[in-house]
Structure 1
Amino acid sequence: MSTTQNERLRGLLEPLVSARHLDLEDIEVSRAGRRRVLRVIVDSDAGVELDACAELSRAISDTLDETDAMGDGEYVLEVSSPGADRPLTEHRHFVRATGRLVKLHLHDGAAVVARVLDVDDEGLDLEVPGLKGRKPTTRRVEFPEIAKARVEIEFSRKDQKEEEA
């Protein structure tokens, strides 16, 4: 998708998304055979419910039908949340990951798997699990040190265990 089309779509869709107290995370146009697929990824601090995606999808569809933003050809519209394995790239992504286990790849080549304890404007406070029976340690990582970051999928998260106890 051209930058101009991306900017135009973002300008058109951002108010619709914001009006529903959601964040517009990404817009992607790709090919699927003869059709194009428009993927709109939204999120919020509280997550995104299926009903919210359906309502937003109808609003986006109506708006796109009133404009020529997608051109004359057929397209499929998909509105969804980013999924658990999406990259953490924005400050708000790290804030939403507080309490979660994350894997950070640092610019110095190191990889760190740790739980996010706190996030501020400069970086993260982490709890690094202890190895071989040792106690966990805390570590500070500044945002400029992070090359890539993702939430690690946990089937039994620490905060869920504490709530159940």
Structure 2
Amino acid sequence: MEKEQIIASIQTLVEQVIAENPDYFLVEIKIKPTNNVKVYLDADNGAAISKLVSFNRALYALLEPSGIFPNDDFSLEVSSPGLDEPLKNQRQFRKNIGRKVEVTLLDGAAKEGKLLAADEEKVTIEELIGKKKEQKITDINFSEIKHTHVCIVF
């Protein structure tokens, strides 16, 4: 089975596991060459560790007999994406409205500001420009974004 097929099969199992928890959603699945499967889940109101543990157990119980990995030669980690991980999908953008983000554009330019909105096509941020910190509302199309990180503010 090719890596894309394996990921698609695991995605189907993940969707079964989280189906009764509509607050939770799949962000990404990564598989290392050693068959270390990393499943990143998030939730609209924050992912609880106890939930992630129960999802891990349920997913493992489905993966083991599935035959996706011959001889059960795999390891599984279910976690939420860390703060250092870029936002991957629209639901993550919506979850982080009101937070400070750094958006890196395809041309390498970076824009920093408060995330005001996110829809199917774009994000809207409020930048503070210049010494006087003048507010500037900026729309950025997803097609122009290389990656976006939430800024950690102390």
Does the TM-score normalized on the shorter chain lie above 0.5?
A: yes
* Unpaired segments ≥5 residues, structure 2: none
Task: Judge which range, 104-113 or 77-86, deviates more.
Answer: 104-113
Q: Counterpart of 1:20?
A: 21
CA–CA separation in structure 2 for the residues paired with 1:150 and 1:20: 26
Distance 1:97 1:77, change over 3 A: same
CA–CA separation in structure 2 for the residues paired with 1:24 and 1:89: 10
Distance 1:108 1:64, change over 3 A: closer
Mapped contact 2:27–2:89 kept (Cα < 8 A): no
Shift of residue 84, structure 1, vs aligned partner: 1.2
Q: Counterpart of 2:140?
A: 141
CA–CA separation in structure 1 for the residues paired with 2:133 and 2:151: 21
Q: Counterpart of 1:162?
A: none
Q: How does 1:32-51 map onto structure 2 within 5 Å?
A: 36-51=35-50
Shift of residue 83, structure 1, vs aligned partner: 1.2
Q: What letter is aligned with 1:40?
A: V
Distance 1:121 1:11, change over 3 A: closer
Shift of residue 73, structure 1, vs aligned partner: 4.4
SS at match of 1:154: coil
Q: Counterpart of 2:70?
A: 71
CA–CA separation in structure 2 for the residues paired with 1:40 and 1:108: 30
CA–CA separation in structure 2 for the residues paired with 1:29 and 1:152: 27
SS at match of 1:83: coil
Distance 1:10 1:134, change over 3 A: closer
Percent of paired sites with the same residue:
28
* C-alpha RMSD of matched pairs (Å): 1.9
Q: Counterpart of 1:97?
A: 96
Q: What letter is aligned with 1:13?
A: V
SS at match of 2:71: coil
SS at match of 1:16: helix
Q: How many residues in Structure 1 have an aligned counterpart in Structure 2?
A: 152
* Unpaired segments ≥5 residues, structure 1: 156-165
Q: What letter is aligned with 2:6?
A: Q
Q: TM-score, normalised by structure 1?
A: 0.81
Shift of residue 74, structure 1, vs aligned partner: 3.1
Shift of residue 89, structure 1, vs aligned partner: 2.9
CA–CA separation in structure 1 for the residues paired with 2:20 and 2:109: 41
Mapped contact 2:44–2:95 kept (Cα < 8 A): yes
Q: What letter is aligned with 1:55?
A: S
